[in-house]
């Protein structure tokens, strides 16, 4: 075995041509989405007024293992994929660890993240369906940027509701979306009924993903030939993100490597689900598999302190009921700088895998530790990571240090979902020593969980 | 010949192991740097108090064709190189052109540009020499970011004088340099004598590269174990940037392609010199070669409206005299958004090649046309380009449209030097229709040229 290159790009002809649907191999399928009124599983006809049709079909299909990636989506993918599998030689040296550290880097595109993988699919299918436009929410701004890019490419209008905290922290995120032709509204806004009602209660509300989702759905439902698109959480989004894991595994195999540990950050779960899918398939099929670790922010700890229950996906109760780990749709996470992880719930697939013990571990980390890891990584590996991605870096560094202490040479693979080019206000705050860790009290968590809907 | 992939990354083992020195093949060498007092060629001993020693040796060597890239620099390169050679299928389709358009994309690193190629070398050599730190200037912020990253990696202090206009337009550029540990000062500043004297004349001065260079040199000379590093212009910088052209040619050859036209944006000339070097070698050796086009901003047109003469490299007359195309060291370009091209002079190598007819053409373009091209490119090719790079895009689109009109299928290669992630204020201005084209009057150009030093 020759030593791994610093960056391995799969040859274009070896790119995955189909998305992998983890559910096909899960012994217990994720629970279905429910109509909140009837508490019955949502039908296709109930979903298509809100979501793009082809994605609804993907959402509802628990059995089909592979979905062909449409040609125009493959063509678009090829403008920014494959993403590199990187060997972190410099970080290994910095940590003086016997561990081998690999990361799959999804930030080499203008959206700066993996979100473009799903945005490309949704925008393509929307155009195919003859729609005029899409509406969506964005937290950190990466999903909104990705959908702006894909909407511009396929020729669709786009309205983005951006979590107000992020819109204030990242004015240039907003500008890049507008450059690609999107209309951006800070959420909560006076554009929607739900936004107005939230602002009536708390005029200074900085928003949350849950709240921005409500506004985007309301907006889509009130426009002509417009549908809502969600950038995480959904089964169909995890399906699109499977390219991360499929490519990762192919590249690792080219190097003759098998990871002992796979680490992903977890907000809504789209990156994590995508990253782990190819190795998780082994585990679901009873074969040897790596240890899977999900890393979430201490201030929004859905897996580690939430409850596995049916809940709304949003604050305004516009969404179906979703069986997932949740902190309650009304949970408003304390301020922090990982806007993309400020979500009260978790993908039903990831939730079910965690509940059933296939996802081995979830851990929550404080943001000052996350930024410490981010700066350490940036200095030696040259990439300035997104705060979201740095959650995975933090855990990878911890695991590598554990290897140094135990003398074990483990192979670690983590997902570097994106770049921090729009997160400089956060980095400045960390450098200036003004960053505060905000662990929610048990009381605050309890308040959120108390709002879970009754399932009687 | 199979069709080219969208992105071609050279295998790591095929990366160039040596830099190519264009001067070795030039029939007329660039004129030597002169001591402004004596008007005699500058000696090594006169240069080493200002510049890092190893780079001085590279600067003065007109004959050695190849310089081995030191191992630690190669290791650092491998964290962000190779850069991809991209086939612009989507742009070709958008333009409905029979031309084949390729671009070498240097923006896939946190500095967002090709500048890291030279920063890595300078920082490594500085550390080898036992220095404590470096001082430099930055315009658009890309060089400053690159040198911040390389200085952090190799363990050096860094002071960056940033053109005030850019510092104001791009607060997050400053923050990313600070994140990597640099100290950033907006120029002109009260830190240096030269800065104070410029501010005394014009308290509202927005600065220029020439002025920031003066401040950085003065600062370096007044500190212990500190040297000045310049990110463009110098022979040694073009040497380091040769990796762009060497990789481009290798990748084109793997595809069985030979460009008919090679297009680069031109500020100080480092990208252009690097990009064209491998094909220019053919031309210098009398072999068939593509047509070379340099693209500069209309508001700072050193090649198209400047004079080929000895001039200072800076505003404060701290530098040696340089034989180059220049608008005069006191020329203050009208405001625009391509800070990286706001420089009154041009690399001596590029200047000599242009004067001797090896560089076929220089053209100046207005910034509104540049941003129009940038947005068109971004929409279909997914990458948001730096305004500097978009000068090359603009010319490439013009050439491709010419091919459509003539029915000729030419092969075009252009350099996409970097990303516009920190240029959103400029994009917003373009989108809002508030961007102004600022072609300097003949009178203003004449005033600049009138300040050229007498060579009697």
Tell me the C-alpha distance between B358 and B291, whole Å.
9
**Chain A within 8 Å of B36 (Cβ-Cβ)?**
no
Tell me the C-alpha distance between B126 and A442, whole Å.
53
Q: In A206-290, where do the E strands start and end?
A: 226-229, 261-265
**Chain B within 8 Å of A79 (Cβ-Cβ)?**
yes
How long, in residues, is chain A?
A: 456
Residue A412: which of A98, A50, A67 has the closest Cα?
A: A98
How confident is the model at residue A156, as a pLDDT?
A: 98
What digits encode the pLDDT tens for the residues A326-378?
Answer: 999 888 777 777 767 778 899 999 999 999 999 999 999 999 999 999 999 99
What digits encode the pLDDT tens for the residues B49-106?
Answer: 999 999 999 999 999 999 999 999 999 999 999 999 999 999 999 999 999 999 999 9
B110:A421 CB<8 A: yes
B424:A175 CB<8 A: yes
Mark which residues 369-428 of A lie under 8 Å from B by CB: 375, 378-384, 419, 421-422, 424-425, 427-428
Which residue in this structure is represented by tokens 């098998």? A258
CA distances from A407 to A98, A400, A401 (A): 7, 10, 10
Which residue in this structure is represented by tokens 């789209």? A270
A178:B428 CB<8 A: yes
Q: A85, A252 in Cβ contact below 8 A?
A: yes
Tell me the C-alpha distance between B54 and B44, whole Å.
10
Tell me the C-alpha distance between A187 and A184, whole Å.
9
Rounded to the nearest 10 degrees, how much is the dihedral formed by the CA atoms of B334, B335, B337, B340? 60
Residues linked to residue B413 through DSSP beta bridges, in sequence order: B102, B262
Q: Which tokens in the block code for residue A317? A: 């109760």
B382:A422 CB<8 A: no
How long, in residues, is chain B?
A: 456
Q: Which tokens in the block code for residue A356? A: 């059933």
Per-residue pLDDT of chain A (456 residues; tens, 9 = 90+): 458 899 999 999 999 999 999 999 999 999 999 999 999 999 999 999 999 999 999 999 999 999 999 999 999 999 999 999 999 999 999 999 999 999 999 999 999 999 999 999 999 999 999 999 999 999 878 999 999 999 999 999 999 999 998 888 788 889 999 999 999 999 999 999 999 999 999 999 988 887 898 999 999 999 999 999 999 999 999 999 999 999 999 999 999 999 999 999 998 999 999 999 999 999 999 999 999 999 999 999 999 999 999 999 887 788 899 999 999 988 877 777 776 777 889 999 999 999 999 999 999 999 999 999 999 999 999 999 999 999 999 999 999 999 999 999 999 999 999 999 888 888 999 999 999 898 999 999 999 999 999 887
Q: Is the dihedral of CA A403, A409, A414, A420 positive or negative?
A: positive
| pTM for this model (two decimals) | 0.94
How confident is the model at residue B1, as a pLDDT?
A: 46
What digits encode the pLDDT tens for the residues B222-235?
Answer: 999 999 999 999 99
Tell me the C-alpha distance between B97 and A418, whole Å.
34
Burial class (CB in 10 A: 0-12, 13-18, 19+), B201: exposed
Tell me the C-alpha distance between A258 and B289, whole Å.
47
Residue A407 dihedral angles phi and psi, to the nearest 5°: 75, 10
Residue A450 dihedral angles phi and psi, to the nearest 5°: -70, -15
Provide, as residue numbers in chain A, all residues whose Cβ is less than 8 Å from the Cβ of B116.
Answer: 382
Query: For residue B318, what pLDDT band results from cuts at 50, 70 and 90?
Result: confident
Structure letter (DSSP) for residue B203 = T
Residue B10: which of B67, B82, B118, B65 has the closest Cα?
A: B82
Provide, as residue numbers in chain A, all residues whose Cβ is less than 8 Å from the Cβ of B112.
Answer: 421
Give ipTM to 2 decimals.
0.92
Q: C-alpha A425: how far from its chain's center? A: 22
- End-to-end alpha carbon distance in chain A: 59
Q: Which among B175, B380, B424 has CB closest to A176?
A: B424
Q: A393, A374 in Cβ contact below 8 A?
A: yes
A172:B382 CB<8 A: no
CA distances from B288 to B275, B291, B396 (A): 17, 10, 21
Q: In B247-301, where do the E strands start and end?
A: 261-265, 291-297
Provide, as residue numbers in chain A, all residues whose Cβ is less than 8 Å from the Cβ of B432.
Answer: none
B421:A176 CB<8 A: yes
Residues linked to residue B102 through DSSP beta bridges, in sequence order: B87, B413
């Amino acid at each position: 075995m020759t030593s791994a290159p610093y960056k391995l790009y799969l040859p274009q002809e070896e790119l995955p041509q189909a998305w992998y649907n983890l559910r096909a191999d899960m012994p217990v399928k994720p629970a279905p989405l429910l109509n909140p009124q009837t508490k019955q599983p949502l039908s296709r006809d109930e979903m298509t007024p809100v979501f793009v049709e082809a994605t609804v079909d993907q959402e509802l299909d628990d059995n089909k293992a592979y979905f062909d990636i449409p040609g125009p989506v493959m063509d678009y993918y090829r403008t920014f994929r494959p993403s590199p599998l990187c060997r972190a030689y410099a970080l290994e040296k910095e940590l003086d660890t016997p561990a081998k550290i690999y990361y799959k880097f999804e930030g080499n595109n203008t959206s700066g993240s993996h979100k473009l993988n799903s945005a490309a699919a949704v925008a393509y299918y929307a155009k195919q369906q003859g729609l005029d436009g899409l509406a969506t929410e964005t937290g950190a701004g990466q999903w909104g940027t990705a959908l702006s890019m894909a909407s511009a490419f396929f020729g669709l209008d786009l309205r983005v509701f951006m979590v107000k905290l992020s819109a204030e922290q990242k004015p240039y995120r907003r500008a890049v979306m507008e450059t690609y032709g999107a209309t951006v509204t800070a959420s909560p806004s006076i554009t929607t009924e739900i936004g107005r009602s939230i602002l009536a209660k708390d005029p200074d509300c900085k928003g949350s993903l849950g709240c921005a989702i409500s506004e985007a759905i309301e907006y889509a439902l009130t426009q002509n030939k417009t549908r809502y698109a969600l950038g995480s959480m959904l089964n169909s989004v995890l399906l699109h993100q499977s390219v991360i894991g499929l490519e990762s595994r192919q590249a690792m195999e080219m190097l003759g490597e098998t990871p002992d540990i796979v680490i992903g950050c977890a907000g809504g779960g789209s990156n994590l689900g995508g990253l782990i899918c190819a190795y998780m398939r082994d585990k679901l099929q009873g074969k040897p598999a790596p240890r899977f670790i999900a890393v979430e922010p201490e201030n929004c700890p859905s897996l580690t302190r939430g409850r596995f229950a049916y809940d709304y996906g949003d604050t305004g109760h516009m969404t179906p009921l979703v069986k997932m780990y949740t902190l309650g749709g009304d949970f408003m996470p304390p301020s922090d700088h990982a806007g993309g992880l400020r979500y009260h719930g978790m993908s039903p697939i990831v939730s079910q895998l965690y509940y059933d013990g296939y996802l081995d571990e979830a851990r929550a980390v404080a943001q000052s530790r996350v930024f410490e890891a981010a700066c350490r990584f940036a200095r030696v590996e040259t990439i300035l990571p997104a705060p979201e991605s740095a959650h995975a870096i933090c855990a990878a560094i911890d695991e590598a240090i554990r290897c140094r202490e135990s003398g074990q040479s483990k192979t670690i693979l983590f997902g570097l979902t994106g770049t921090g080019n729009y997160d400089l206000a956060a980095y400045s705050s960390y450098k200036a020593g003004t960053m505060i860790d905000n662990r929610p009290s048990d009381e605050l968590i309890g308040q959120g969980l108390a709002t879970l809907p009754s399932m009687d």
